[in-house]
Amino acid sequence: MESLKQSLVTRKWFLCTCASFISGLVLLFLCTNESQRTGSIGGGGASDFFLLANNFNVNQSSNATLSFTSPSNLAISPQLFISNMKEEGLVSPQTHIALPPQSSKDTMPLDAKQEVHCDIFEGRWVYDKKKYPLYHAHRCPFLSDQVNCRRNGRPDSGYEHWRWEPRGCEIPRFNGSDMLERLRGKRVVIVGDSLNRNQWESLSCLLYTSVRPSRVLVKAQGSDHKIFRALDYGCSVEFFWSPFLVKLEEMKGDDKKVLKLDKLHGTEKRWRGANILVFNTGHWWTHSGKKWDYFEKKGKLVEEMERDTAFKTAVRAWAKWVDRVVDSTKTTVFFRSISPEHKRQHKQWCYNQTTPITNETYIQLFPRSMVRIVERTIQKMKTPVKYLNITRLSEYRRDAHTVIYTSKQGKVLTFDQQMQPEKFADCSHWCLPGLPDTWNVLIYASIVGLN
């Protein structure tokens, strides 16, 4: 009898061990599957497994019932998790799964007094011709030829009518008057490459529609520095050209250029004191044909250096500047993630496209190592930085690029040039009104949620 009891205990122990092992494999499989499905820019892998394991507790109480508990700030919903399990055949379709009661704040709109715990960068695009676009190009007289696609002859307008809808919560519709009130007496400074200039034009047009035209002042010093001022509100939105964030300059007595990896761009003193700072970098580090001849670090010139090593040094220099200079009680810092491209050599070319990509497994080719460098650097900073993670949601929008309805070197493409899309199509920048408006809507949602 005693040996029988021991045998039963041993068998129970063995079954529990097997169940634990199988549960771990299920979680690992689902994590990998979900990472591939969403194209998470963190690169997936083991870190995603631990995130999923920490977020979900699935307890198999019997062969036919699963109890499911989860915290309130999940990046994936319990319903989607369960659906994936059943679709993959890991759980029988007849299995009953008990969910925790849904919190009322899970569906609560984002407003000035409460911040909803959901990932506003995960969701879907919804065609909304009634509410979008948020402004019209002909009502924004300073919109540049580079991004004014309708003025340059684009015949379709569907790309203007798509609205971003996050999963699990609502974001407020952009309210220009409310935004101006929140910015009263304040400065917004946007620093980066031409994609951030794209975002500056978008935000300026969004605000322009809510003020009297006679009470707006727009100044431009070429394409390197642009200022939008709403005089009645005493606020400004400025753009500073700095594609590397660090300094690129010509060597004295030579036409060689040196990229100083540990020194911020020469305009950095003019960024200081802003109430909102929006940064980006990345594209110029991957352009074909180097924009520099030498790197400089700690006063020493280096002719060759791995791109990721140089990029990491520059991003860290930016982070140190932010930690040293920015007062987080007065300034909110955003870093916008990579704006994806849809060039001809990629799987989804932007030419002649009028609808978003619907294949959720589509993954862009931009170097993920550079994305991880930015994310890890931000995580280690003392100053809070809000990561404007627009990469994935923008990857779907192959239809929203300027394509052949744009300008090159200040001149709108001619008919002959438009007939050569393989040579002239711009699949990097975005038409306005269009996708960058959503980037600014998400900044607005973040600001509203902060107060």
Residues involved in catalysis: 194, 426, 429
Q: What angle do CA 77, 82, 86 make, to 5 degrees?
A: 150
Q: Is-contact 195 428, C-beta < 8 A? A: yes
Instruction: Please report how many Cα atoms fall inside a 13 Å half-sphere around the Cα of residue 406, on the Cβ side.
Output: 21
Q: How far apart are CA 205 and CA 212, in angstroms?
A: 12
Q: How far apart are CA 167 and CA 118, in angstroms?
A: 8
Task: Look at the alpha carbons of 115, 116, 117, 123 in this order and tell me if their dihedral is positive or negative.
Answer: negative
Q: Is-contact 243 209, C-beta < 8 A? A: no
Task: Indicate the SS3 state at residue 223.
Answer: coil
Which helix or strand (DSSP H or E) is residue 43 part of?
A: none
Phi-psi map region of 247: left, alpha, beta (phi>0 left; psi -120 to 50 alpha): beta
Instruction: Please report how many Cα atoms fall inside a 13 Å half-sphere around the Cα of residue 131, on the Cβ side.
Output: 13
Task: Dig out the tokens for 241 from the structure.
Answer: 């050209």
